């Protein structure tokens, strides 16, 4: 029986499972990165549909105008298990694998 917060895939008729905790979500605006969030990535075990939810109450950073924001974001992207971009409008290919340090 699903929990109240479960996400159900209507195609596979089962709930999505957590795939990766603590993904980095970069909320994009017309000028570039706007806010940065931590969230969880869920995946349907049947069809592979993925969905991001479980956002914190507040973003990690929302001061895109700060002098250190760009450098901080570059570092955060290399440390995160996955990076997901959130655009205002649909935009395909949003997940990148963790970058190798080699
Ligand atoms: Zn499915």
**Pairing, β 8-9 against β 32-43:** unpaired
24-72: pLDDT as tens digits? 999 999 999 999 999 999 999 999 999 999 999 999 999 999 999 999 9
Query: In the sheet where 32-43 sits, what is the strand order?
Result: 50-53, 32-43, 17-29, 82-86, 95-97
CA of 92 to the centre of ligand 1 (A): 19
CA pseudo-torsion sign 5, 22, 36, 44: negative
Q: How confident is the model at residue 99 (pLDDT cuts 50, 70, 90)?
A: very low
Output phi, psi for 76, to 5 deg.
-60, -40
Task: Read off the pTM.
Answer: 0.83
Residue 60 Cα to ligand 1 middle (Å) = 30
């Amino acid at each position: 029986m699903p929990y109240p917060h479960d996400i159900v895939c209507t195609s596979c008729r089962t709930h999505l499972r957590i795939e990766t905790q603590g993904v980095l979500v970069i909320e994009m605006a017309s000028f570039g990165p706007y806010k940065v969030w931590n969230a969880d990535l869920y995946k349907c075990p049947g069809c592979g549909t993925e969905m991001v939810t479980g956002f914190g109450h507040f973003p990690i950073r929302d001061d895109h105008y700060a002098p250190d924001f760009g450098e901080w974001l570059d570092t955060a992207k290399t440390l995160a298990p996955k990076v997901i971009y959130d655009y205002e409008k649909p935009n395909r290919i949003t997940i990148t694998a963790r970058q190798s340090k080699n």
